[in-house]
């Protein structure tokens, strides 16, 4: 019933902003258009604004879950127009804070103690508020300044209801309007569900934060706040309070005397380190989640906050990505096509040359420009656009990586427009590939495998005996099978001989009776019996002859 109520509210808002104008001119869309027109909120709706502007306004009115969906869609340049991306990028994940008493109540319920017992000081007024959680300042009894992140009450139920509704609508729309299947609406909603449910779990975010902190311990490039695990639950997380300037505040960074080129290049190095060396990358690096420390302007350092969304690629996926990027740099379109097919992203029945020519036609104009003028993000987007025409199915982790790469490049060029991400990225890629193929990598692989090998040593005699026993059983089964075949063959030959003799006897007997009916005087009208025997014998012989030809 609640889902039905939410559906009515959603349809009311969609009709209010006449979002039916975003539907294609397809006969299957007619019922949806008619549905929108009979909803009263559409009767006086204005259509002066661009439809994508109206979609943004509708998402803002529907609240946090739809704002998050809009932010996800704003990274899908492979699916949406430039105008759509521009508008959806304006969605801000800032909503009014929820009741302060509710926040205190959640903290005390989760941590099983009064706030005054848990903290020496607690800021009741939220420091910041977003769609999933809000943040309060606090001081521990041991003196550390911390922030307390609290998940909104009942947000999980709301998220699950909205996601279930989105999935149902996406499925029905794709069924009714096949033209919209190319937008992969259902897959987008599933990707969104994976991302937003991850943001609801504070324990997961705390674990991600701890992993990033370990990966960059004592690193001059990136600082990650410490997590206070004794104050963390599924709905509450307490971590070190950090101080810095938002990455988007370029004027403040300049005023602090930080070299913007150096800062931009550090950001690229952090990205490649997270993806290829650490295999654990921050997948939500928008300006609100990245700060810059002003402690040492000569050696700038990033600060990473809000680590709820992360991505990870296995070794084969990282190797595939590195080889794809290297092939792009070398303009080896055949290699790119082969890599896409071998990875299973594109069906194996696709003609390599056809995919190669399509990739060349789209990427060559971009790659012919000077390296410093080439942007990583658009190239990856165009690559995905082309491959999608060939039924490409990219993994959700690669879509997270695409989103991260676009954010990194955008932030870098905002700081330093002349940023040459290719010049910085190629040596890092080459070193990583060399490390994966060199003697050190082989030695590491052997070291990783040695404990397992020693663990299996006591089992080797038993495994060898079981293998020999299986081979013996297989041999016995083969012999038994061959014996059965030979036995059936002998029986068949015996039956064939009996049938042949019977048929011949019948034919001969019939012929004798036909020629000399006086030999069997006890049977009246001998000729008809003779014909019957003769025809029966002939039929048997004819059937046998046909069977042998087959």
> CA 438, CA 8: separation in Å to the nearest integer?
61
Tell me the CB-side half-sphere exposure of residue 344, using CA atoms within 13 A: 3
Nearest CA to 426 among 313, 316, 326, 281? 326
Cβ–Cβ < 8 Å for 111, 121: no
Judged on CB neighbours under 10 Å (0-12, 13-18, 19+), 415 is buried
- Directed axis angle between helix 315-329 and helix 421-437, to 10°? 130
User: In 345-459, where does DSSP find H-type helix?
Assistant: 352-367, 376-389, 396-415, 421-437, 439-456
Cβ–Cβ < 8 Å for 408, 285: yes
Q: How far is CA 145 from the centre of its chain?
A: 38
Q: Are strands 301-304 and 222-223 parallel, antiparallel or unpaired?
A: parallel
499 CB-near residues (< 8 Å, 6+ apart): 540, 544
DSSP 104-135: HHHHHHHHTS-HHHH-SEE--S-SEE-SSEEE
Catalytic residue among 20, 284, 306, 420: 284
152 CB-near residues (< 8 Å, 6+ apart): 64, 98, 131, 132, 133, 134
State yes or no: is 316 an active-site residue.
no
What residues does 237 pair with on adjacent strands?
149
136 CB-near residues (< 8 Å, 6+ apart): 103, 122, 123, 124, 125, 126, 127, 147, 148, 150
Nearest CA to 59 among 13, 16, 12? 13
Nearest CA to 235 among 280, 199, 195, 271? 199
Helix (H) or strand (E) holding 547: helix 526-549
Q: Which residues are catalytically annotated?
A: 284
């Amino acid at each position: 019933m609640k889902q039905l109520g939410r559906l009515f509210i959603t349809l009311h808002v969609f009709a209010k902003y006449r979002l039916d104008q975003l539907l294609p001119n397809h006969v299957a869309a007619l019922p949806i258009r008619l549905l929108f027109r009979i909803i009263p909120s559409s009767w006086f709706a204005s259509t002066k604004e661009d439809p994508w502007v109206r979609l943004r306004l509708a998402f803002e009115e529907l609240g946090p879950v739809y704002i998050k969906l809009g932010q996800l869609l704003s990274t899908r340049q492979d699916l949406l127009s430039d105008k759509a991306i521009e508008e959806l990028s304006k969605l801000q994940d800032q909503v009014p804070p929820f009741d302060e008493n509710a926040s205190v109540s959640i903290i005390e319920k989760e941590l099983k103690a009064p706030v005054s017992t848990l903290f020496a000081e607690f800021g009741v007024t939220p420091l910041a508020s977003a769609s999933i959680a809000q943040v309060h300042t606090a001081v521990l009894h041991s003196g550390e300044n911390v922030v307390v992140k609290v998940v909104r009450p009942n947000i999980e139920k709301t998220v699950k209801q909205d996601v279930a509704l989105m999935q149902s609508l996406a499925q029905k729309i794709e069924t009714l309007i096949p033209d919209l299947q190319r937008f992969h609406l259902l897959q987008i909603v599933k990707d969104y569900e994976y991302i937003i449910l991850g943001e609801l779990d504070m324990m997961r975010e705390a674990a991600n934060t701890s992993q990033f902190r370990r990966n960059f311990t004592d690193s001059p490039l990136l600082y990650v706040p410490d997590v206070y695990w004794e104050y963390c639950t599924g709905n509450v997380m307490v971590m070190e309070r950090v101080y810095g300037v938002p990455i988007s505040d370029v004027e403040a960074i300049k005023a602090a005397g930080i070299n913007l080129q150096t800062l931009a290049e550090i950001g690229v190095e952090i990205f490649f380190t997270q993806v290829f060396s650490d295999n654990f990358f921050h997948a939500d690096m928008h300006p609100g989640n990245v700060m810059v420390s002003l402690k040492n302007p000569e050696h700038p350092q990033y600060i990473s906050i809000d680590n709820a969304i992360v991505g990870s690629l296995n070794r084969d996926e990282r190797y595939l990505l590195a080889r794809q990027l290297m092939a792009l740099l070398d303009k080896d379109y055949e290699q790119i096509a082969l890599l896409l097919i071998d990875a299973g992203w594109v069906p194996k029945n696709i003609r390599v040359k056809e995919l190669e020519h399509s990739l060349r036609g789209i990427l060559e104009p971009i790659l012919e420009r000077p390296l410093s003028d080439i942007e990583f993000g658009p190239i990856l987007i165009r690559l995905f656009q082309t491959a999608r025409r060939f039924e490409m199915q990219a993994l959700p982790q690669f879509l997270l990586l695409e989103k991260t790469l676009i954010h990194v490049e955008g932030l870098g060029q905002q700081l330093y427009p002349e940023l040459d991400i290719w010049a910085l990225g190629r040596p890092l890629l080459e070193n990583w590939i060399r490390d994966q193929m060199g003697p050190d990598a082989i030695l590491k692989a052997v070291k990783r495998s040695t404990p397992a090998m020693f663990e299996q040593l006591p089992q080797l005699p038993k495994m060898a005996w079981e293998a020999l026993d299986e081979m013996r059983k297989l041999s016995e089964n083969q012999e038994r099978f061959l014996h059965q075949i030979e036995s059936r063959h002998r029986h068949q030959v015996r039956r064939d001989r009996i049938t042949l003799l019977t048929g011949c006897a019948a034919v001969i007997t019939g012929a004798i009776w036909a020629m000399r009916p006086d030999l069997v005087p006890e049977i009246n009208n001998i000729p008809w019996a003779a014909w019957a025997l003769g025809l029966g014998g002939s039929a048997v012989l004819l059937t046998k002859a046909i069977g042998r030809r087959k």
